[in-house]
Amino acid sequence: MARGALYLQSSGAASPSIAAGQASGSNSNSHCDKDRDPQAADQGGTEAEELLYLAHQGCVAQIESLLSQGLVSVNYPDYERRTALHIAACEGHLDVVRLLISKGADVNASDNWNSTRKSSLQVQISLPVSEYEVNPAELQYLDKTFTKRGYQVAAWRGIQVFVKCFKDLSYGEKAILAFRWELSLIQTLRHPNIVQFLGAVTQSTPLMIIFEYLPQGDLYQYLNQNRALKPSKVIDFSLNIARGLNFMHEHKPEAIVHRDLKPKNILRDNSGHLKVADLGLSKMLKFAAQVVSEDGPPPLKGSSCRYMAPEVFKHNAIGKEVDVFAFGLIVQEMVEGVAPMEEMDNEKVPSAYADKKRPPFKASLRRYPGDLKELIKQCWDDDPKSRPTFAHIIDRLESIKAKQRSCIWRITSLWTH
């Protein structure tokens, strides 16, 4: 049998040869033997058939070698007008997809079912969001600047929205998976202190997630403009953040850990309330007390390093406590008016935290109402198990706020009598 007959059919059903191989436990990666002649097709198969077969198997090096010889067109179609790009996209071989595009593959080539490479890729990234699917032609992009990278402002169905756009396949498989993950999470989270999901574009590229429009910018921008905030504002903002995170941590059936909490990922609405945003690095925990291990080095960089818990830097197992650590730093930043460990480069801050160093308290004690200062210290405790939960943090903050109100009432009473 020629190799061209071995790749999956467009309907998604495998040929008998493939099905038999899978049943016997064969590993398709074994077909990508580096020592194998890329032109050697079984029983007289052509170079073109070989290209289609290698695209199905995901053999990047062999495809590059075959195409470099100039013996076959990258856009060669089979009897159903499927090209190597169609097949690689359907199989989810993103490295092959990128290679073929770099070699001039036609992304708009249609097969007998009018399926293009773009729609074929949706076999890998599609999600059950049909009720939220947005026609990208409905989005009218506006000439508005916004500090948050990757976001655009658009008019859609009579309102303004934020559009988070995944523009290029060069982001790679991790970016595609991040899109799928963030989309699956944001649909389940409906809370006043979490940015609201409105829709998504999943059936064409570029992929997009559409959020409510929050024109006041992010907390990072707000702190740069205002520096140290009044104690009452600190408590109100802290409660906004804590309530959003508590909702995520108490999410059922699985808790959600943000993992990249920082001022740039906290947005402000028109009423001045804060909302947690950007869940692309979030993880789900099956149990409230569960921890998970990081795969490889920490995924955080840039300003994210300033809010990185020591256990993340040390490659230890992480849990909901990493968000509590970052929260404590953000609260202290709102009081002090400067970023955590401001005197250090971003990349050096995580190792300082691992060495049990913390940002100094320079503001007067009166700017830390009640036991706020002690609460911050507990949040950034080196031992994750010693950090409070957000449910406990909310109780503490509400108690501080109640005392502030009581104090204001007493002062007002003295002035009026």
**Active site amino acids:** 260
Q: Is 13 left (phi over 0), alpha (psi -120 to 50) or beta?
A: beta
Tell me the pairing of strands 283-285 and 151-156. unpaired
C-alpha closest to that of 262 among 246, 248, 278, 239 = 278
Structure token pair of residue 200: 């998504």
Q: How far apart are CA 58 and CA 65, in angstroms?
A: 13
Are 223 and 334 contacting, i.e. CB atoms less than 8 angstroms apart? yes
The answer to whether residues 208 and 136 touch, using CB atoms and an 8 Å cutoff, is yes
Contact (CB, 8 A) for 96 and 55: yes
Phi and psi (nearest 5°) for 170?
-65, -15
Residue 232 amino acid letter: S
The dihedral through the CA atoms of 353, 357, 363, 369 has a sign that is positive
* Angle (deg, nearest 10), helices 372-379 and 321-336: 140
- Residue 395 to residue 401: CA distance in whole angstroms: 10
Locate all alpha helices (DSSP H) within 108-152, ordered by sequence.
117-125
- Amino acid 191 reads H
The half-sphere exposure of 38 on its side-chain side, counting CA atoms within 13 A, is: 23
Joined together, the tokens standing for residue 214 give 């929050």
Cβ count within 10 A of residue 46: 16
DSSP 169: G
Provide the total of helices (H) and of strands (E) in the chain, helices listed first: 14, 9
As a residue count, the chain comes to 417
